[in-house]
Amino acid sequence: MTTTYVPAPAASSTGRMLAAQTRMELRLLFRNGEQVGLTLIIPLLLEFFFNLPLLYSLNGRRIDFVVPSILALAVMSAAFTGLAIGTGFERKYAVLKRLGATALPRSVLLWAKTLAVLGLEVIQTLLICLFAVVLGWHPHGDPVTVVLLMALGTIAFGGLGLLVAGTLRAEVTLAAANLLWLVLLFCGGIAIPLDKYPHGVHQVLQFLPSAAMSDGLHRVLQHGAQLPVAPLITLVLWAAVALPAATRWFRWE
């Protein structure tokens, strides 16, 4: 006689675990109203501020430079700073320690967090673009290429954020994530165009992930380029290194 046990005493498939954990991460993300509010409002405020001719002069319409920069900033803020700080404190309060006692692999957890950030970025992008149209923005280029750049940027920054959160203490993660956010903001072609720096410095800074994403978005949305090969390759390399490194060295506690 064969006995059948329901439910089956085995772990779910990787796909089902990823879908379930992504839904949970999204719910947890949107429950933090203050964090989501800041993530959505700050880019809009900076979009308005950077559109004012206060810091430096630009050739052409200022809003055409500002919008790609703010889109890059939104991805960096959500996928790197917000994800690193939130995950760091989940480690501190032993939330991840309890998940580590389940059948959930580290790679599935990290991918679920990254996909949840993508969900938040969809809302960010819609708000930024709608506000930009109000300010007189006229986009150029292929939207599919824009989505590809932002998706690769999310994976790259998400991997870096999870690597920081999974290896450092929460308090150190908080300081490091904010400091790196400022460095990437001002040295990555977002707040200040890279051509404002000396040529030698420019040649080095262009390989930062923020510079690659910002440059790619500017080429497409500002100048109508079809496929910005160099920024795409740079982001692919950062993503190929960052997320596997986070998976390898991420600690549950």
The answer to whether residue 241 is domain-embedded is yes
Q: Which domain holds residue 37?
A: 14-50+58-249
The answer to whether residue 235 is domain-embedded is yes
Amino acid making up residue 9: P
The total of other beta-carbon atoms located within 10 Å of residue 51's CB is 20
The answer to whether residue 85 is domain-embedded is yes
Q: How many domains does the chain have?
A: 1
Q: Which residues contact 106 (CB under 8 A, 6 or more apart)?
A: 100, 247, 250, 252
Cβ–Cβ under 8 Å, residues 81 and 157: no
The total of other beta-carbon atoms located within 10 Å of residue 110's CB is 25
Q: What does the alpha-carbon distance between residue 31 and residue 23 come to, in Å, rounded to a whole number?
A: 12
The answer to whether residue 2 is domain-embedded is no
The answer to whether residue 4 is domain-embedded is no
pLDDT in tens, the chain (253 residues): 566 666 666 667 888 888 988 998 888 888 876 677 777 888 888 888 887 776 556 666 788 888 999 999 999 988 898 888 888 888 888 888 787 778 788 888 888 988 988 888 999 999 999 999 998 898 888 999 999 999 999 999 999 999 999 898 888 998 999 899 989 988 888 888 888 888 888 888 999 999 999 999 999 998 888 889 999 999 999 999 998 998 888 887 7
Map 154-166 to HEC letters. Answer: HHHHHHHHHHHHH
The answer to whether residue 194 is domain-embedded is yes
The answer to whether residue 231 is domain-embedded is yes
Kindly give the residue spans of alpha helices, DSSP state H, lying in 77-207. 83-92, 95-100, 106-134, 143-167, 170-187, 199-205
Q: Give just the sign of the alpha carbon dihedral 132, 133, 135, 136.
A: positive
Sequence-separated contacts (24+) of 131-135 with Cβ below 8 Å:
131/44, 131/47, 131/48, 132/47, 132/63, 132/66, 132/67, 132/70, 135/47, 135/48, 135/51, 135/63
The answer to whether residue 20 is domain-embedded is yes
